Amino acid sequence: MKLVLLPGLDGTGILFKPLTDALSKDIDALVISYPKDQNLSYQELVEYVLKRLPKGEFILVGESFSGPIAYQIALRKPKFLKSIIFVATFLDNPRRYLLNLSRLIPKKLILGMPIPDFIVKYFILGPSADANIIELYKQTIKMRSPSVLSYRLNEISNLSGSHEPCDLKAIYIQATNDVLVPDSCIEAFKLAFKNINVFRVKGSHFILQTNPKACSEIIENEISHLSH
């Protein structure tokens, strides 16, 4: 069974490396990266991903920014989709006040500036993040234009509304120290998915990067369960 990974805000998929390194070697992982120089809306990204899904059974993983994309794909009920795993993500604007306020500042300018390590550690990767993970994160951000990142932040800020129920089996991996996505975001998933299991994993918002071992065990257990 293939594991399809949808990336966070950067869209590169490079940040999945700690997870794919931790996964068993017999797991076939497919990372779907997003176009680096196109301002694609959430709906356009849904269509983009749908065209690239495998022709055999697969589990879909939606990390952070990609949670709403994975959810919309689940509602389409692709033939071979067996389960969906949400990671540190949301279905509505997770920080409405901050993201609305951010519209008043020049995001393109700010997103083009170097990010100090202490900012990366506190808000994104957590205080225990090592230098290698920090550098990997910075590399991915450099690969995306500030314009694209700004556009995606606006897409997040526009998320709102009721959510259709989905009968697909789902898992939510929740980071215990996530300062970007509050605990309350999980309520929307519980309303949308009657069959959802929540796993709290110690770490920051980028939980697949800072605690890949614990996350890989959850994912491998799901693959094993569905394969029997």
Of 36-40, 42-46, 113-117, which one has max mean pLDDT?
42-46
Contact assessment for residue 66 and residue 86, using Cβ atoms and an 8 Å cutoff? no
| DSSP code, position 80 | T
Q: What's the confidence (pLDDT) of residue 139?
A: 78
Contact assessment for residue 170 and residue 85, using Cβ atoms and an 8 Å cutoff? yes
| 2-227, CATH topology level | Rossmann fold (3.40.50)
> Out of 104-113, 132-141, 168-177, which region has the weakest mean confidence (pLDDT)?
104-113
Q: Nearest-CA neighbor of 129 among 51, 200, 212? A: 212
Of 113-127, 151-165, 190-204, which one has max mean pLDDT?
190-204
Confidence of residue 134 (pLDDT cuts 50, 70, 90): confident
- Coil, strand or helix: which one is 27? coil
79-91 pLDDT tens trace: 999 999 999 999 9
Confidence of residue 110 (pLDDT cuts 50, 70, 90): very low
Q: What's the chain's average pLDDT? A: 87
Annotated domain spans of the chain = 2-227
- Mean pLDDT along residues 6-19: 94
- Integer angstrom CA distances of residue 42 from 48, 69, 71, 132, 170: 10, 6, 11, 31, 20
> Out of 105-109, 130-134, 166-170, 179-183, which region has the weakest mean confidence (pLDDT)?
105-109
Confidence of residue 217 (pLDDT cuts 50, 70, 90): very high
pLDDT of 144 above 80: no
DSSP 125-168: I-TT--HHHHHHHHHHHHTS-HHHHHHHHHHHHT--S----B-S
**How far, in Å, CA of 215 to CA of 75, rounded?**
25
